[in-house]
Amino acid sequence: MGEERVSGILLHPTSLPGPAGIGELGAGARAFVDFLSAAGQRRWQLLPLVPTGMGDSPYSSCSTFAGNPLLISAGDLMEEGLLERSECPRPASGDESVTDYAWAARAKGEVVDHALRHFERRPPGDMASAYATFLKSAQSWLDDYALFVALKAHHGGAPWFAWEDDLRDRHPATMSRWRARLAREIEAVRLGQFLFFHQWRRVRDYAHERGVRTIGDLPIFVTLDSADVWAHRHLFKLDPQGRPEVVAGVPPDYFSATGQLWGNPLYRWEAHSGSGFAWWVERVGAALEVADEVRLDHFRGFSACWEVPADATDAIGGKWMPGPGLALFQALDRALPEGASGRIIAEDLGVITPDVEQLRCDAGLPGMAVLQFAFDSGAENPHLPEHHQVNQVVYTGTHDNDTTVGWFQAAPEPVRDFARRYLRSDGAEIHWDLMDAAMASVAATAIVPLQDVLGLNGRARMNRPGLAHGNWCWRVTAGQLAEAPVERLRGLLERHRRLV
């Protein structure tokens, strides 16, 4: 990352406004880019764009490579000749400020089926050649992913490690039989992936034309019930039946007194190292094809991760186990065409020890500061602005935090008092106070969740770590976005020399 002073907005595409029950990569996404440009923002930060999993979480996906087909825009498909107007889903009923994942899944499944029939009959323009190119470029992950999705549906959603042994263990003859048997279902999945990446590329190009770069998000771990683990079992700590021996989590921290038991399988780092980290090179390379920069979630796990017995009921009894260290990042820098160090942000939050800081510095990665964390201890708190660094990204809060208004309303009085005195504020517009502090920071990049720009309270929170359900549902409405304080936001950027 360069040292140009820029700012951006954190908003996941599922939270975009529109009639489809979920945000889409069509007119709504382009309108949001227009908003970013008008407000002087040069970064759009996203959560993982992968298919959502348990609890509708984008951090619990059946693939680290695939895109979320629920984000496909039916309107754009109609304009391109892959959908008739009568085949477009009706507008979703219900609260437009809440994502309806179940409705979107049914509607977008039908949309892809319609698009497949049109595509087979007469692909519009040069789309047939573009599809062939996509299939070739994505072959290393797409074939396994499409078969995985089709098999999982055939098995009523059962996890891959509960399938019959020959499928669980990927016997070649069995795999071939199932590929033939589920050919139609597999082709629908493949086309859905093509349409997702086709539409996302158009949105990203639109953003680039307006001076906006994207920041993606790459979780350190992948989901046990995923195409990734099914296809690469030797890279994970699994028993002969494909079940985890140990799982990932974090010890007790700011978010949870019992820690967080994530349940993801842990890596056999010696196997990754023996291949020159080939799977990681492909994974990070794919993420940097999707976004201009990538936030690497739970960076501390690359130094050491919290390993918990697979049968544990909470994360208290875990232990720290070493990660791959600098060797992984050196491999990425060698293997990726433009290297990695200039395009990765280290999410260095949580229990950060000197070895984690040293790894981040040795890898040349910017870390993070979160202003909501700055006021719960004394003057040495690293999140206070006087401790920020140029090579850093400062946030008012992240997707795991409450909105700034919600945080301040719920904070203990000593925290509220310190924040008021430090910010020289009465707290009446605490969201603007924290945004002002973020923009004034020496950190080269400042990111603000859209909820803070709009001054929304805790009902607009995106995620509550440790809770399995009820997250990831907040959406901005078209009316809220139209009334957003664009000029005031631009003025804040201009005052702090972030208006490029």
Residue 248 has pLDDT above 80, yes or no: yes
DSSP state of 212: -
Residue 90, number of CB atoms within 10 A of its CB: 9
Topology given in CATH for the domain delimited by 6-495? TIM Barrel (3.20.20)
Mean pLDDT (whole number) for 143-155: 98
- Which of 364, 322, 324 is CA-nearest to residue 343? 364
Residue 1 has pLDDT above 60, yes or no: no
Which residue of the set 217, 400, 402, 433 is catalytic?
A: 400
Q: Where are the domains of the chain?
A: 6-495
Mean pLDDT (whole number) for 119-127: 92
Residue 362 has pLDDT above 90, yes or no: yes
- Which of 468, 473, 469, 476 is CA-nearest to residue 103? 473
Beta-ladder partners of 145: none
Q: Would you say how long the chain is, in residues?
A: 500
pLDDT tens profile 429-483:
999 999 999 999 999 999 999 999 999 999 999 999 878 889 999 999 999 999 9
- Work out the percent of the chain whose per-residue pLDDT is above 90: 91
pTM for this model (two decimals) = 0.96
| Contact residues for 469 (Cβ-Cβ < 8 A; gap 6+) | 55
Q: Are strands 445-449 and 6-10 parallel, antiparallel or unpaired?
A: parallel
Mean pLDDT (whole number) for 7-11: 98
Burial class (CB in 10 A: 0-12, 13-18, 19+), 240: exposed
Which residue of the set 56, 80, 225, 297 is catalytic?
A: 297
Does residue 297 have an active-site annotation?
Answer: yes
Confidence band of 257 (pLDDT split at 50, 70, 90): confident
Cα–Cα distance, 456 to 449 (Å, whole number):
10
Beta-ladder partners of 213: 43
pLDDT tens profile 271-324:
999 999 999 999 999 999 999 999 999 999 999 999 999 999 999 999 999 999
Residue 233 has pLDDT above 80, yes or no: yes
Mean pLDDT (whole number) for 44-56: 97
Region of poorest pLDDT, from 95-109, 249-263, 273-287, 323-337: 249-263
Confidence band of 350 (pLDDT split at 50, 70, 90): confident
Residue 98 has pLDDT above 70, yes or no: yes
* Residue 96 · residue 475 · CB < 8 Å: yes
Does residue 270 have an active-site annotation?
Answer: no
Cα–Cα distance, 274 to 154 (Å, whole number):
36
Residue with tokens 């700012």: 7
Q: pLDDT value at position 382?
A: 96
* Residue 403 · residue 449 · CB < 8 Å: yes
- Which of 209, 260, 270 is CA-nearest to residue 236? 270
Confidence band of 67 (pLDDT split at 50, 70, 90): very high
pLDDT tens profile 375-395:
999 899 999 999 999 999 999
Confidence band of 125 (pLDDT split at 50, 70, 90): confident
Which residue of the set 96, 307, 347, 433 is catalytic?
A: 347
Q: pLDDT value at position 253?
A: 76
Give ∠ CA 102-108-114 in degrees, rounded to 5. Answer: 145
Residue 237 has pLDDT above 80, yes or no: yes
Residue 419 has pLDDT above 80, yes or no: yes
Q: pLDDT value at position 272?
A: 98
pLDDT tens profile 173-215:
999 999 999 999 999 999 999 999 999 999 999 999 999 999 9
Q: pLDDT value at position 92?
A: 85
Q: pLDDT value at position 473?
A: 97
* Residue 297 · residue 222 · CB < 8 Å: no
| Contact residues for 403 (Cβ-Cβ < 8 A; gap 6+) | 397, 431, 449, 451, 452, 456, 457, 458, 460, 461
Does residue 376 have an active-site annotation?
Answer: no
Q: pLDDT value at position 255?
A: 67
